[in-house]
Amino acid sequence: MARYVYWCPSCGTRIAPKNVPMLNRPYSCPACSAPLRVAVPHMGLVYGAGLLSTFVATYLAGLRGLLLVFASILGSPVAYLALYMVIGLIWPGKLELRPPTDFPLRFPNRPPD
């Protein structure tokens, strides 16, 4: 079995990796229309590692003070994307059923269900 082939947790249909959206966007199974999302439990690790790696790199480059902080914050998206690709190859996400309350947009004053 291929490592990067996804399976629908509802009906068991094989879903090609090119049909699975990146960055946790919700979508539906092409066979059973079950609401799905990519479960990526290691995203917090990637965020932290990206910020830490840019902080260490800018410190080793000789930056100090506020310049160190700003350079770390501005450089962390580049490190995040690089780490996301590397860790995604080692530890790919899995598909899970999307809860009915999981909306792509968050409305703070949404009426109760």
Domain range for residue 76?
Answer: 6-97
pLDDT of amino acid 111: 58
107 is a domain residue: no
pLDDT digit string, tens, across residues 50-101: 899 999 999 999 999 999 999 999 999 999 888 888 887 787 778 888 877 6
106 is a domain residue: no
47 is a domain residue: yes
1 is a domain residue: no
Pairing of strands 94-97, 27-28: unpaired
Question: Using CB atoms within 10 A of its CB, is residue 35 exposed (0-12), middle (13-18) or buried (19+)?
Answer: middle
111 is a domain residue: no
Which pair of structure tokens corresponds to residue 5?
A: 């082939």
109 is a domain residue: no
34 is a domain residue: yes
pLDDT confidence tier of residue 1, bands split at 50, 70 and 90: very low
pLDDT of 21 > 80? The answer is no
Which pair of structure tokens corresponds to residue 93?
A: 């996400």
3-state SS of 70-111 is: HHHHHHHHHHHHHHHHHHHHHCCCEEEECCCCCCCCCCCCCC
104 is a domain residue: no
pLDDT digit string, tens, across residues 27-52: 888 899 888 888 777 777 888 888 99
- How many domains are there within the chain? 1
pLDDT digit string, tens, across residues 87-100: 877 877 788 888 77
CA dihedral 83, 88, 91, 95 (to 10 degrees): 140
pLDDT of 105 > 80? The answer is no
What's the mean per-residue pLDDT of the chain? 81
